[in-house]
Structure 1
Amino acid sequence: MNHNARTLVGMTANPGCGRRTLLDACGADKDAIATQAGFAWPFGQSPFAISRGKSFEASITEHGGAKLLTLLRDLLDLPLPEVAYKPVDEVGGNAQRELRYQQTCKLLLEAARGGDWPGTLFDHPMLRLTVGGVQVYLEPDVIAFKVKDLFYVVEIKSFPVIDRQADPDQVAAAIRQASVYVIALREMLAAHGLDPAMVASSVILVTPKGFSNSPVATLTDARKQIAMLVRQLRRADNVSDLLNEVPDDTTFDLRPNELGVATRAAADLVNHLLRIEARYRPACTQHCEMAALCRDEAVRGDSLDLYGTGVSDVFNGVDSASTARALAAGTRLPSLDQQDVARTLRRAQRLLNELGGVA
């Protein structure tokens, strides 16, 4: 399965979406499915952002992670005269994932059982995580730092921190990605009879200071994000309830021909996708390949989900904008669970009418 930290984070960004949960649980290629359905959505980082990120990361990790070590010493107040550096991006020139995973396991378990070792940097370990009952590889985008009896996950990002402030959405996404690695490391330790609490619940973010390449490190509590991810991963492991609500003949097979070209009719594929309940949110456009399809569905259904949870949560019991307008105008009788919202809407409509009259 082709999961990485970004795709797993996407699973948790909208945990109420059955469509995303089911597609992720079966390891479906959402990008290919969305494209064949006629709802391709540009997703992922721009080439410039990827290039900047790689350049910044390389500047931090070169020379055995010397620059990173300086940051960690200051951040964690560690008197480390010497630190071991263990690159795991390949094994004897071989970058095969299973081989790298086995080497990562060997090194991390040795460190975990080694007691109060000197600090050790593990550069780009290959990890695995159980998703939907299947073990998937995580593409390496992390450094595990072990000091004393704790492992810390270090996430290097290229977005700037200006006056100690960074874009909150980017920070939140980075913490969630680092949390994926915390869970994977804990799963590895637990599988070998070691205490998963050896992996710290605080993660270290390394970002540029201002618009320069001068780095700054921040220790951030990720307990909330870790707990959220664990809950969502458990949900992915228990998709039987979702499957029970889906017709037995539902399939996302793109029916490739002998040349590997998808032949599935777009209308038929969309029909099968719409059998699964979605929960569209504006933020879906930032992390899900199915966003265009789900947004189109929400538009056609006049759904309040288009306006985000801040609106849909306020209008509890009201599922469409047309219903909200009718309740505000008094042309629709509210149901029992809509009465409080209807009173608020009518009051707001009166105020709006009065303001319009003054204008």
Structure 2
Amino acid sequence: MPAKALDARALAALAANPGCRRRAVLDGAGVDKTALASALGSPSVFGRSQFAFMRGHAFESRVKADGGAVLLRLVHEKLDPGAEPPDSDARVPDLSAPGPEGRTARTALALREATGAGGWTLLDHPMLALDVAGSPAFLEPDAVVVHPDGSWTVVEIKSFPMLDGSADPAKVGAAARQAAVYVLALEEAAARLEARPEGAAGASRDHGARGGAPVPRVRHRILLVCPKDFSNLPTASAVDVRRQRAVTSRQLARLTRVADIVDTLPEGTCFSPELPAEELTAAVESVPAVYAPECLSACELAFHCRARARAAGAVTALGRPVRAELGGLATVDDVLAAVRGETGDPRDPAVAALRRAAALRAEALEAACR
């Protein structure tokens, strides 16, 4: 079956749950998890309604209208007020090319030219390549802005509202994780540009890319653009994604070792949705998963993993904070046995806290019954 290409959402979801080997293997292999979830009997509810898609497209078109004048004004206001204000001469290069490889090359050329040319440049839906487990993942941010000083900024345009200057923290966090992936891809592009041989640099001076031009720098504060209050007017906020970038970078480094996980699987393991349900379930269960309630908003297999976690009595189904507090007690049965004194070391802080809580509960119930 054709592999499903990794995108920024998938990579951000990997970073949000770095301990899940199941997702690492399935994403590394390019498995279509939506089809897989349906074949397992736990279909995903991912996807936006047609109305939401049209509303988001209309809002993005409005933000980028007139050569991106509104967007560049917001970048100048929120991220670079000391630079010269953008004017009507801001460049919006054509990035069209055949195939993702061609678009990536065209984007790299546009970045080289804009970095040394001065002034403002808006790259509308550029194509970036990020090395993931030894193969390129092609990513398409909403926009990248090149500042007059040659630095680069990622722009994320979302259709959820920004009320009184703030938006839903969960949605902002998801947007920040997605933007962090684009920042990593831009850093790879900047490294390739800076590492070009002298001959290549000299040959491109006519295009204004080098020859005294500033070294490209990727900013770690991205611009999040959203509708203002309940209108369709754009407003923006600067979001620092350094923490999300660091987490994503570490997880991508782990993905390069996905072969170590695969080596532990039974010979001939296959995840094709066309397999019989029993065989497919056994193949999926052969890869350990780390379920948490947060997976419901990030992974297509979340409903399947939740059902399995509940059936096994895993405390991860209660959330990561609960799991962290319980230490080595991995199941609800283990917790109850420790409370009753059947198992567990009383010197274990988790066991001691559970027994103390059980004693307090018993006292409270006894007092209530008097």
**Common fold by TM > 0.5:** yes
Which secondary structure state, in structure 1, belongs to the residue aligned with residue 72 of structure 2?
Answer: helix
Measured in 2, the distance between the counterparts of 1:290 and 1:84 equals 44
Change (3 A) 1:81 1:305: closer
Q: Which amino acid aligns with 2:136?
A: Q
Q: Which residue number corresponds to residue 291 of structure 2?
A: 280
Partner deviation per Cα, 1:326-347 (whole Å, 9 max, x = no partner): 22233x12148x8321211111
Tell me which stretches of 4 or more aligned residues in structure 1 moved more than 4 Å: 194-197
Structure 2 residue 302 is the aligned partner of structure 1 residue 299: no
Measured in 2, the distance between the counterparts of 1:119 and 1:296 equals 51
Please list every run of 5 or more consecutive structure 1 residues that lacks an aligned counterpart in the other structure. Answer: 255-261
Q: Which residue number corresponds to residue 352 of structure 2?
A: 343
Q: Which residue number corresponds to residue 68 of structure 2?
A: 65
Which aligned pairs between 1:1-359 and structure 2 lie closer than 5 A?
A: 1-75=4-78, 76-77=80-81, 78-82=83-87, 83-86=89-92, 88=94, 90-91=96-97, 96-112=99-115, 114=116, 117-138=118-139, 140-147=140-147, 148-194=149-195, 198-254=217-273, 262=274, 264-330=275-341, 332-335=342-345, 339-359=348-368
Measured in 1, the distance between the counterparts of 2:154 and 2:215 equals 13
Deviation at 1:242, TM superposition (A): 1.0
Deviation at 1:87, TM superposition (A): 5.1
Please list every run of 5 or more consecutive structure 2 residues that lacks an aligned counterpart in the other structure. Answer: 196-213
Q: Which amino acid aligns with 2:271?
A: F
Q: TM-score, normalised by structure 1?
A: 0.90
Q: Which amino acid aligns with 1:207?
A: C
Partner deviation per Cα, 1:57-116 (whole Å, 9 max, x = no partner): 11100111111122222222132253423255634xx6x33332221121112223x16x
Change (3 A) 1:122 1:308: same
Q: Provide the aligned length of Structure 1 versus Structure 2.
A: 343
Measured in 2, the distance between the counterparts of 1:275 and 1:180 equals 29
Q: Which amino acid aligns with 2:170?
A: D
Between 1:43-52 and 1:280-289, the stretch displaced more is 43-52
- Percent identity reads 37
Measured in 1, the distance between the counterparts of 2:75 and 2:254 equals 35
Q: CA RMSD in A?
A: 1.9
- Contact (CA 8 Å) 1:187, 1:196: kept in 2 or not? no
Measured in 2, the distance between the counterparts of 1:169 and 1:36 equals 30
Q: TM-score, normalised by structure 2?
A: 0.87
